Amino acid sequence: MANKISTKPPSGMRDFLAGEVARRRFVVAKITEAYETFGFVPIETPTIENLSTLLGKYGEEGDQLLYRILHRRDALTRAVEGAASEGRPATALELSDLGLRYDLTVPLARVVAQYGDLPKFFKRYQVQPVWRADRPGRGRFREFYQCDVDVTGTTSLVADAEVCGAVAAALDALGFDDYEIRLNHRALLRAMVRAAGIGDEHETTALVAVDKLDKIGRDGVVSELSGRGVDSDSAERLLALAVADPSCSNEQRLDALAGGGLDEEGRSACDSLRELLKMADPTPAGRRLRVSPELARGLSYYTGPIFEVAVPDLHGSLGGGGRYDGLVGMFGKRSVPAVGFSLGLERILVVMEERGMYPEISAGPEVMLCWLDVEPSQALEVATQLRTHGVRVEVYPESTKLKKQLAYAASDGVGAAFAIILGRDEWERQQPTLRDLTTGAQRSDNIERLVGLIRQGGFST
């Protein structure tokens, strides 16, 4: 007997049915509307990128999470047979030269390097799926959507304030009222590592470990650093700088850091954060920004301020970003500064669902057209008239008893608010009957008046 084929999607991937799609569209519409009010324009990039574009941009851990695509047909055969002829297995690079995009930032950097006619200060937003060979968890998937805003072409902190403001405006529009935008600076982090007595050879290790502080705790960070060759005294000194007093203001935190043995680069980073806080104050992000010395962000391409959105009831973040002034230059001869912020759609959806934040969103038809003793073409004609007025109409596809049609219209899977009943008499008078499926009230009238009733949500009491 043949093995039964599983109908489940692959691990970390999901199917989205009508109600879920409607909620996703609602959230994306709110986010993109907010982004557009800040002057960002949309772009889209391919699902598949060259591995040469992707590799080396995300750090060692990021590279390991890339989904690679095997060579096709003859190219794959040649790679396997060529390695076998040398008495060895083929390497990963020999078997693949393409991969699924890991984020939307590296593809943007490639686009900016590719097209010379973009505006000098290119403000783009992008809402598309990305893929990571990660371990699935709550609000964490292998295929998920990111909602990015970026500004390229300027080192001005005005751009940093703008991307933070756009993200805050989007979250405000969705109804979030308890989030904070955590803020740090990569140069400040590097200075903290030096002040802790950790050598340059362990800088990346230290930043990756600190970035896990909220996941593995203080002892876990010390243990991870010790396991990678950093002595425990240095690890403790780093954490003393990174873990801030929660009762302190942003200014107090920056003053404490600047006076905590930092070098000139670290003190300069503190000044940059002060300037950014001042610029962002009148924007939607102003009251949300919180200096967080422990924030590291794992991606290696960040060069300046970094951001992350936190809410109390989610382990992890709703999104993050930062300044990445060196990334675009990796694809061409010119250096192009840039800063961006990305919201994770899936995590936003998880939190909104758990909190009951969605308004009533209908994914199905407003009206089920039920017909009997008329021709199917006549039912379709009436449906077309309703649709020209913008009404969402489903036509019951089979000739059967009216009671069965009405029961289907009101069922959970369909959920129409109204039924249009079209029989021989209604057709001859050109006055279909509108029935409210909640109250049972009904009225026969011409199409225009029935549309008016549908638009006002039913019959007046």
Assign 261 to helix, strand or coil: coil
Nearest to 298 by CA among 290, 308, 309, 288: 308
Work out whether the CA dihedral 136, 139, 144, 146 comes out positive or negative.
Answer: negative
Contact 105, 327 (CB under 8 A): yes
The enclosing H or E element of 319 equals strand 319-323
Rounded Cα distance between 42 and 182, Å, is 26
Rounded Cα distance between 340 and 163, Å, is 6
CATH topology of domain 367-455: Rossmann fold (3.40.50)
* Class (C level, CATH) for 18-51+99-355: alpha beta
Nearest to 321 by CA among 187, 147, 176, 190: 147
Those residues whose C-beta lies under 8 Å from the C-beta of residue 134, and which sit 6 or more positions away, are 12, 65, 140, 142
What residues does 180 pair with on adjacent strands? Answer: 310
Q: Where are the domains of the chain?
A: 18-51+99-355, 367-455
Nearest to 298 by CA among 220, 204, 234, 203: 204
pLDDT in tens, 315-348: 889 999 999 999 998 887 788 999 999 999 999 9
Contact 423, 374 (CB under 8 A): yes
Sheet order of strands, 393-395 included: 393-395, 367-371, 418-422, 433-436, 442-444
The enclosing H or E element of 395 equals strand 393-395
pLDDT in tens, 118-155: 999 999 999 999 999 988 776 678 999 999 999 999 99
Output the tens digit of pLDDT for each of the chain's 461 residues: 567 889 999 888 999 999 899 999 999 999 999 999 999 999 999 999 999 999 988 877 788 899 999 988 888 888 888 888 888 898 888 889 999 999 999 999 999 999 989 999 999 999 999 999 988 776 678 999 999 999 999 999 999 999 999 999 999 999 999 999 999 999 999 898 888 888 878 888 888 888 787 778 888 888 888 888 888 888 888 888 888 778 889 999 999 888 878 899 999 999 999 999 999 999 999 999 999 998 988 777 899 999 999 999 888 899 999 999 999 988 877 889 999 999 999 999 999 999 999 998 888 899 999 999 999 999 999 999 999 999 999 999 999 999 999 999 999 889 899 999 999 999 999 999 999 999 999 999 999 999 999 999 888 65
Give, as one character, the DSSP assignment of residue 318. S
